[in-house]
Structure 1
Amino acid sequence: MSDWIILASAVAGFDHAATRHKVLSTRDYLAGPELFSGSRPNIINLSRSYAYQSRGYYASLLAAARGQRVIPSVETIIDLSQRKLYENAIPELEDSLNKGLGGEAATAPQRLRFYFGTSQDRRLEKFARLLFDWFRAPLLELTLRPGPWCAIKRIALQPTTRLDAAERTAFFAAMERYTGRQWREAVLRAPARYSFATLVNADEELPPSSIASLKHWSRVAARLGVAVEPIGRKDLPRLANFDALFIRETTSISNHTYRFARRAQQEGMPVIDDPVSMIRCTNKVYLDELMRANAIPVPETVMLIGNGDLERAADQIGFPMVVKVPDSSFSRGVSKVSDRQELTRLVDDWLRDSDLLIAQKYMPTKFDWRIGVLGGEPLFAVHYLMAKKHWQIVRHDPGGRPVEGGFRSVSLAATPPQVLDAGLRAARCIGDGLYGVDLKETDAGVFVIEVNDNPNLDHGVEDAGEKDEVWIRLTRWFIDRLAS
């Protein structure tokens, strides 16, 4: 089998003569996690759309879950989804672009296209390589504002369907040169020292840490020579004044929390939560495949790409079953259905906003385990109890405040070894940061429900078992990375 796989939205319309590599439809790739078991192909994702939650988006997301290298990565897709996510790259890029154009910036075309870090304009070869170092993608289009200083208005991923015949020839020639080289991972910006920023929103309804808890951390951190300062969403320009960032707002890759995480990473700052962890934990489709690939027990799951998958879910899982929007959080976007009619109605509604859903076996328990993991080691353990007269730990009543089910603290020493082991193995698949692993302990064994970035960490709740050791270890996690 070829070392390179090309993903296309529609194989029938693809120009197979233009490449020697195997071409696979995006849908077949999504539906076939076993296709490349035992091998690690390089994936070039040429989907027609990379929009959030489109099949093109999921192809790059799940390639990472399957241990395959993909271009563009899901991080690149997200970075280029909004100008505010990549605007910190603009000054360096504009400087290189204008140097390449020399004195002819005023006559530059309004649009330029770059294929795998190459340009058809020899003057812009150095710029094309820099652009590719920032945003590794097959096809990038720049929209420019020509003038004495040529300004970059927009950087966007583009599908090959927008290329004319001459451009397609140049694109596939660039792809042939690129695939003839060894894969090179993107270069990350490097680290820099004892003032920590904590991103908070005092008005958030269900924050991961209360202001009182963060004040408690501040007192503990001060004993270790660390000052902790709260910042808000308008403080992104100030972020470089700090040495580290701890995000204590509910994270989402579509809001400012992801921008803060990316900026911190680009500044070389230790950050919780880092952008890769946010992407991986946010999406339950990715988590399900990642856990299965690492032999970690999860509930029986069926991916729902269209109505044709409903029969398979009904036969395989049975009712009741749980249906989830891939990026749901705090029990929102998660629903239990009792029969085929309910399932059809719910899926028809939710597929309007997401190309994929997942259906999982319903596992009733009186509580969920939450194992906190930091740097690959256990940090805390707690029971989250189900909300009263409800099957989840949070009940969202229409028009009302969310009702939580309470907690029961457990020391790590008293936590069953099989629960700790499953939690640690699951978190280590994600990264080296702070995670909250939700598990169900049943007669059939222990099952990982999900791995959360941005887990709750409140004084008197998650730290009840291990006391201030939780906050000391959190502070030292940042210090160790600043010192390395």
Structure 2
Amino acid sequence: MSQVIILVDDPADWAAYYPTRHLLSARDYLQAAQPVCTDKKVQVINLCRSYKYLSPGYYCSLLAEARGQRVLPSVRTVNDLSRKALYGLHFERFEAALDKAMKKQGGDATRVTLTLYFGHAEQDGLNDLGRQIFDQMPCPILRVSFRRREEWTLESIRPVSLKQLKGHEEDAFARALEQFNARVWRNPRRRRGDRYDLAMLVDDKEAMPPSNRAALKRFIKAGRQLGIKVDPIDRDAYTRLGEYDGLFIRETTGIDHHTYQFARKAEQEGMVVIDDPGSILRCTNKIYLAELMQANGVPVPPTAFVFDDSEAQADSLIAELGLPMVLKIPDGSFSRGISKVKDKAELRAALSGYLKQSAVVLAQAFMYTDYDWRIGVLNNRPLFACQYFMSKGHWQIYHHKDGGKTSSGRFATLPVRDVPAKVLRMALKAARLMGNGLYGVDLKQSGDQVVVIEVNDNPNVDAGVEDLWLGEDLYRQIMLEFLRRMEARRLGLPL
């Protein structure tokens, strides 16, 4: 089990807290006075009085990272906290939580200050906000001030030292530290034979997740058979992500979303990750996807990028693409953010609405087929093949109805060998442009014409659908790829 050490400038700073044999002075740590100071399994909580550049506290975090130890706060966090221009970049990620928290607080206050102990806020109703701030800027003690003018805005975030805590604050810190040690720094227990730990990011409340519950259980079972402990986690596990060897994202991904933050952190930790952040960036924006495909000779439906909803623009689009026409916002998913327009009036109305959400809208010629091909590709190899039929009486696979209900068409799962050669060839070429991860390539086929509609970075793998042909072997093949990559990472070999 990993050992935790707590660093302070002067052991007297610790007088108000419970004694611990894991306490070290910053000087002893910097001078490596004990063997534990260079042990890579050690986990460091840096409670020095200052993290200013070139201070002992700064050097403690710097050397901890150089020694391969996990440290709180990291040098990156220290640097981000040093200037408002840097920590302000994080603010927009918890604006929604701030607004929600302040509405719950009520009252006429124009300024609110809270002290966070490992992300825990003592004030009622502010813990969710505190956790999100801590996720972005993990630091043992933070004092955060907000000010309301027309809206609530961030005024300052600064680290706080133990010496600045008084009375009940000391008690609150001690409780938070005890909980943090017990939960966040805890190493997952490995059963005998487990070679690697894989975090599988899921959201139990997601209405249309990329894998249903039965599929998640089969991933866990397949991993166990290969010596991989697959641990389902949720967004609250962000700060302990580094405990794992790999990350498998089974939530619908997005750039402005915690899934991308998880992928970036996993990559920075040197973990094996699917979906990797590069794939998320490339796949989730349809504008980028269309441009990339066309630039590399991959056929797509006739396409135009739209920047205004003028009458002249509408006339130009109709002349170029014909009617009906399909409009898409760049980051829509599961048939959301997509419209089919049949005349000029509908075209201009749809453009007007979409251009309020995005500076660019994608317009494509409408190409009707009874079904779309979905080719699952893993590390540039075909994995599964499905035909997704259009929802009954609708032109898309998913039909989002008034009232929030969604229906979908039927499907057929086939062996890869039965897929037309041209469909398979185009799918592999499109996936190769995205990377070497797990992708679902959607294509339409009309006679000899095959076009790529999109490439999904986290394709559906549902029990009873995509696994109908391969069964348990589908999950085993994906876990085998994780095993291969984690072994390669351990040996220093290219992935």
- Post-superposition Cα deviations, 1:180-229, rounded to whole Å, max 9, x if no partner, equal xxxxxxxxxxxxx6111111111111110011111012112211111111
Instruction: Tell me if 1:154 matches 2:88.
Output: yes
Match of 2:103 in 1: none
Look up the equivalent residue of 1:464 and give its one-letter code. Answer: L
TM-score (norm 2): 0.61
- Tell me, yes or no, if the aligned pair for 1:412 and 1:466 is still in contact at 8 Å: no
Instruction: Tell me if 1:330 matches 2:334.
Output: yes
Instruction: Tell me if 1:240 matches 2:242.
Output: yes
Match of 1:359 in 2: 363
Match of 2:276 in 1: 274
Instruction: Tell me if 1:342 matches 2:297.
Output: no
Question: 1:443 Cα shift?
Answer: 2.4
Q: For 1:304 and 1:439, how far apart are their aligned partners in 2?
A: 23
Look up the equivalent residue of 1:474 and give its one-letter code. Answer: I
Match of 1:99 in 2: 54
Look up the equivalent residue of 1:281 and give its one-letter code. Answer: C
- Tell me, yes or no, if the aligned pair for 1:387 and 1:394 is still in contact at 8 Å: yes
Taking structure 1 as reference, are residues 101 and 449 closer, same or farther at Cα in structure 2, changes over 3 Å only? Answer: same
Instruction: Tell me if 1:465 matches 2:469.
Output: yes
Question: 1:444 Cα shift?
Answer: 4.9
Q: Which SS does the other structure have where 1:379 is aligned?
A: strand
Q: For 1:337 and 1:415, how far apart are their aligned partners in 2?
A: 32
Look up the equivalent residue of 1:224 and give its one-letter code. Answer: L
Q: Which SS does the other structure have where 2:88 is aligned?
A: strand
Match of 1:228 in 2: 230
Q: Which SS does the other structure have where 2:217 is aligned?
A: helix
Q: For 1:227 and 1:143, how far apart are their aligned partners in 2?
A: 36
Instruction: Tell me if 1:439 matches 2:443.
Output: yes
Q: 1:213 aligns with which of 208, 212, 215?
A: 215
Q: 1:264 aligns with which of 263, 266, 275?
A: 266
Q: For 1:95 and 1:482, how far apart are their aligned partners in 2?
A: 38
Q: For 1:102 and 1:232, how far apart are their aligned partners in 2?
A: 32
Q: 2:453 aligns with which of 449, 474, 478?
A: 449
- Tell me, yes or no, if the aligned pair for 1:463 and 1:470 is still in contact at 8 Å: yes
Q: 1:476 aligns with which of 476, 480, 485?
A: 480
- Post-superposition Cα deviations, 1:226-259, rounded to whole Å, max 9, x if no partner, equal 1111101111112111111111111111111111
Question: 1:144 Cα shift?
Answer: 4.3
Q: How does 1:30-429 map to 2 (within 5 A)?
A: 98-99=53-54, 144=82, 153-155=87-89, 194-307=196-309, 308-429=312-433
Q: For 1:219 and 1:410, how far apart are their aligned partners in 2?
A: 24
- Post-superposition Cα deviations, 1:22-44, rounded to whole Å, max 9, x if no partner, equal xxxxxxxxxxxxxxxxxxxxxxx
Question: 1:472 Cα shift?
Answer: 1.6
- Tell me, yes or no, if the aligned pair for 1:197 and 1:231 is still in contact at 8 Å: yes
Q: For 2:420 and 2:448, how far apart are their aligned partners in 1?
A: 15
Taking structure 1 as reference, are residues 467 and 102 closer, same or farther at Cα in structure 2, changes over 3 Å only? Answer: closer
Question: 1:99 Cα shift?
Answer: 1.4
Question: 1:445 Cα shift?
Answer: 0.7
Match of 1:49 in 2: none
Q: For 1:102 and 1:369, how far apart are their aligned partners in 2?
A: 56
Q: For 2:389 and 2:269, how far apart are their aligned partners in 1?
A: 40
Question: 1:96 Cα shift?
Answer: 8.6
Aligned-residue Cα RMSD (Å) equals 2.8
Query: Identical aligned pairs, as a percentage?
Result: 46
What is the aligned length? 319
- Tell me, yes or no, if the aligned pair for 2:391 and 2:410 is still in contact at 8 Å: yes
Q: For 2:229 and 2:318, how far apart are their aligned partners in 1?
A: 54
Q: For 1:230 and 1:199, how far apart are their aligned partners in 2?
A: 6
- Tell me, yes or no, if the aligned pair for 1:419 and 1:441 is still in contact at 8 Å: yes
Taking structure 1 as reference, are residues 473 and 95 closer, same or farther at Cα in structure 2, changes over 3 Å only? Answer: farther
Q: Which SS does the other structure have where 2:385 is aligned?
A: strand
Q: Structure 1: where are the runs of 5+ without partners?
A: 1-90, 104-132, 136-140, 157-192
Question: Which structure is larger by alpha-carbon Rg, 1 or 2?
Answer: 2
Question: 1:145 Cα shift?
Answer: 6.1
Q: Which SS does the other structure have where 1:153 is aligned?
A: helix
Question: 1:294 Cα shift?
Answer: 1.1
- Tell me, yes or no, if the aligned pair for 2:218 and 2:472 is still in contact at 8 Å: no
Taking structure 1 as reference, are residues 468 and 234 closer, same or farther at Cα in structure 2, changes over 3 Å only? Answer: same
Q: For 1:483 and 1:462, how far apart are their aligned partners in 2?
A: 27
- Post-superposition Cα deviations, 1:363-386, rounded to whole Å, max 9, x if no partner, equal 111110000000011000001111
Look up the equivalent residue of 2:301 and give its one-letter code. Answer: P
Question: 1:470 Cα shift?
Answer: 1.7
Q: Which SS does the other structure have where 2:53 is aligned?
A: helix
Q: Which SS does the other structure have where 2:227 is aligned?
A: coil
Q: Which SS does the other structure have where 1:98 is aligned?
A: coil
Question: 1:153 Cα shift?
Answer: 3.4
Taking structure 1 as reference, are residues 97 and 215 closer, same or farther at Cα in structure 2, changes over 3 Å only? Answer: same
Q: For 1:197 and 1:258, how far apart are their aligned partners in 2?
A: 15
- Tell me, yes or no, if the aligned pair for 1:143 and 1:155 is still in contact at 8 Å: no
Match of 2:71 in 1: none
Q: For 1:145 and 1:460, how far apart are their aligned partners in 2?
A: 52
- Post-superposition Cα deviations, 1:388-444, rounded to whole Å, max 9, x if no partner, equal 100000000021321111211111011111111110000000001000000001025
Q: Which SS does the other structure have where 1:363 is aligned?
A: coil
- Post-superposition Cα deviations, 1:285-338, rounded to whole Å, max 9, x if no partner, equal 100011111111100001001235333211100100000001110000000000
- Post-superposition Cα deviations, 1:131-168, rounded to whole Å, max 9, x if no partner, equal xx989xxxxx978469xxxx963358xxxxxxxxxxxx
TM-score (norm 1): 0.62
Q: For 1:435 and 1:303, how far apart are their aligned partners in 2?
A: 25
Decide which moves more: 311-320 or 295-304. Answer: 311-320
- Tell me, yes or no, if the aligned pair for 2:380 and 2:436 is still in contact at 8 Å: yes
Q: Structure 2: where are the runs of 5+ without partners?
A: 1-45, 59-74, 91-194, 489-495
Q: Which SS does the other structure have where 2:200 is aligned?
A: strand
Taking structure 1 as reference, are residues 101 and 384 closer, same or farther at Cα in structure 2, changes over 3 Å only? Answer: same
- Tell me, yes or no, if the aligned pair for 1:270 and 1:482 is still in contact at 8 Å: yes
Taking structure 1 as reference, are residues 242 and 391 closer, same or farther at Cα in structure 2, changes over 3 Å only? Answer: same
Q: Which SS does the other structure have where 2:54 is aligned?
A: helix
Look up the equivalent residue of 2:221 and give its one-letter code. Answer: R
- Post-superposition Cα deviations, 1:67-112, rounded to whole Å, max 9, x if no partner, equal xxxxxxxxxxxxxxxxxxxxxxxx9xx9996118999xxxxxxxxx
- Tell me, yes or no, if the aligned pair for 2:249 and 2:275 is still in contact at 8 Å: yes
Q: For 1:239 and 1:101, how far apart are their aligned partners in 2?
A: 27
